[in-house]
Amino acid sequence: MALFNRRNNNAPSAATAVATPAVDPALAALTGDYTIDPAHSSIGFTVRHAMVTNVRGTFGEHEGSLKLDGHNPAESTASIQVKIASIDTGIADRDGHLVSGDFFDAEKFPLMTFRSTRAEQLGGDTYRVTGDLTIKDVTRPLAIDLEFNGSATDVYGNERVGFEGSADILRSDWGLTWNAALETGGVMVSDKVRLTFDISAIKAAAPQV
């Protein structure tokens, strides 16, 4: 199911009429406000360590919302807030270094945020959401490529949608510049970081009339 308007293959040609994209009823049914379910979602990252391996981590505390517009999907929006102090790489000392002033300075800048400004279909169920990512006191544009995994009603009657995707950033663009040189050449931590998103969101109940 596409989240963005599909071309109507039965519409008249542009030479005779302006084609109006058909709205998929199943797509239209997704219209509404959604809350990201942190218990079934994951926001994480992967970064090269010592030039030879990858370190992976997650942020255990985050919240956010989606507004899906099935009639005009390009108007859909997303907002996410991540608590930096909830970072978890599996090593307490490393986590402590990451939240320190060398990296995120979580005491002064407790949140990482993303606010979408644009949504577009890349093809099939793959989409690109562009917005503003703020880390510390730096805000820069970020494009996240997402796969729409579908929608379902869970055993508790919640209507859910799911997305997963990723985006590559240079951490130095957001002021995360700490590093250490290696004796064999190269550096301890790569500048390139891959952010990963695995999102499950619950639709808000329709207001009573």
The SS3 assignment for 125 reads coil
| Buried residues in 26-56 as b, exposed as e (16+ CB within 10 A) | ebeebbbebebbbeebebbbbbbbeeeeebe
| Buried residues in 77-101 as b, exposed as e (16+ CB within 10 A) | bbebbbebebbbbeeeeebeebbee
Mean pLDDT of 170-185: 95
27 versus 81: the higher-pLDDT residue is 81
Mean pLDDT of 40-57: 96
Could you tell me the sign of the dihedral formed by the alpha carbons of 74, 158, 146, 86, in that order? positive
Q: What gap in Å lies between CA 196 and CA 43, rounded to an integer?
A: 6
The pTM of this model reads: 0.85
Phi and psi at 63, nearest 5°, equal -150, 160
Q: What residues pair up with 58 in beta bridges, in sequence order?
A: 44, 88
Distance of CA 6 to the CA centre of its chain: 23
Mean pLDDT of the chain: 89
Position 15 confidence tier, pLDDT thresholds 50, 70, 90: very low
Q: What gap in Å lies between CA 164 and CA 197, rounded to an integer?
A: 5
Mean pLDDT of 37-48: 97
Q: What gap in Å lies between CA 128 and CA 190, rounded to an integer?
A: 25
**pLDDT for the residue numbered 121:** 80
4 versus 202: the higher-pLDDT residue is 202
Least confident among 45-54, 65-74, 95-104, 172-181: 65-74
25 versus 159: the higher-pLDDT residue is 159
